């Protein structure tokens, strides 16, 4: 289930237009294939994208991990966070940065 949510997050990240390459943007709702997508209640979704690269991260407010992925690698990665702490812009690396300091979960 987490892989499906992360894949949707990645598609969402890529579909967002006019996102700065250096600052993460919060995804609250977007249209994908004619339907509206919005993260679930208490789920934060942030993306950083340029015309050639993207990174996306997501996490639940009560979860203890931030999940991430980007175009530079097929890996799904994570890093720890405190439960009750929201995912914020600073948790999403710039689209030109990799997730090398994060732990790998698996491959898409």
For the chain, give every domain's residue range: 2-97
For the chain, first and last CA: distance in Å? 12
In the three-class reduction of DSSP (H, G, I as helix; E, B as strand; rest coil), residue 93 is classed as coil
Q: What is the pLDDT of residue 75?
A: 87
pLDDT in tens, 27-64: 898 888 889 999 999 999 999 998 899 999 999 999 99
Confidence band for 92, pLDDT divided at 50, 70 and 90: very high
Q: What is the pTM for the complete model shown?
A: 0.74
DSSP secondary structure, 57-72, as one string: EEEETT-SEEEEEETT
């Amino acid at each position: 289930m987490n892989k499906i949510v992360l894949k949707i997050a990645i598609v969402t990240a890529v579909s967002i237009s006019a996102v700065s390459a250096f600052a993460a943007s919060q995804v609250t709702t977007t249209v994908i294939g004619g339907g509206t997508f919005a993260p679930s209640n208490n789920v934060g979704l942030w993306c950083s994208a340029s015309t050639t690269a993207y990174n996306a991260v997501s996490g639940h407010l009560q979860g203890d991990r931030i999940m991430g992925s980007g175009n530079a690698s097929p890996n799904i990665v994570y890093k720890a966070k405190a439960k009750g702490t929201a995912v914020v812009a600073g948790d999403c690396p710039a689209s030109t940065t990799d997730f090398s300091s994060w732990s790998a979960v698996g491959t898409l």
